[in-house]
Amino acid sequence: MKKLSFVCTTYGRFTCVERIVAQYHAQTYSNKELIIFNTDEEHPYSLGFEDDSIIIVNNGIDYQTKNPYENRGQICRDAVTHATGDYFMLADDDDIYLPWHMQQAVDGIEANGKDAWKPEKSFFATQTKLEMCMNTLEASVIVKMERIREIGFRVDITGYEGLSWYTRLRDEQHLDEHNKYYLPSYCFNWSDPHEVAGHKQSGSIGSPNNFENHKEASKDYAKRPLEKLLIEKIRETYKPYYQYIRQHEADFPGDLLTKYFSIQEYQVEN
């Protein structure tokens, strides 16, 4: 079984990162690691429990330039140096990852014989709606780690960092943007209240102040070690997504519903 590295870069989003840890533990794929790369050194992260598969790095200085980070591409590049997996998946700190997210991605990339795998659509959530959408949505993609290290991340502007590897793999026909054989497992999440989410970098792409605005607005600082969330809490997080899948079962492959959804332990009742 190949190892998957789940890479989370963050600044001032403690509640979100604690939820990422819970979602990481909820994953049914067993050979995995979580890299938490926190650039807010004034409020360092730590674990309040033992888990050797979670690696925390508190660092605000670019490994190459020796200066403070200027964009997220530089951060992603440095975060990946701590990964030891065969596969890379991005853990955007504020997004939602259902328990079969990793397993389905590994199954997909190993079945297609390519360097990446992606579902055509993923969830998009706001405070008033939950729907399926098409986009690049880099956090829905699994990529061979060797290709991530080869291609790297854009380091010129925050918001475009993942398009380097995404565009190249797509153009090489190693990434199928129209793959319809999947069960939704990832949500591009805009449903959190402002005090949790802070600033949305993806909502300000192209702004020259995007990176600094994110640091200024994201003030949910780490004041204690990360702890494990109660299972009831993560069930509540997942509940609307499970309900959506039940209500739209006809839209998804029946064998994947059986394989990933109906048997997984975190399923909740309507």
Determine the residue type at 221: Y
- Residue 264, C-beta contacts closer than 8 angstroms, at least 6 positions apart: 28, 99, 100
How confident is the model at residue 108, as a pLDDT? 98
What residue ranges of the chain have pLDDT lower than 70?
197-217, 263-270
The pLDDT value given to residue 86: 98
pLDDT of residue 193: 85
pLDDT of residue 156: 85
> How confident is the model at residue 268, as a pLDDT?
46
Q: Which residues contact 150 (CB under 8 A, 6 or more apart)?
A: none
Q: In this predicted structure, what is the pLDDT of residue 166?
A: 96
b/e map 202-227, b = 16+ CB within 10 Å: eebeeeeebbebbbeebebebeeebe
Q: What is the pLDDT of residue 218?
A: 73
Question: pLDDT exceeding 70 applies to what percent of the chain?
Answer: 89
Q: What is the DSSP letter of 252?
A: S
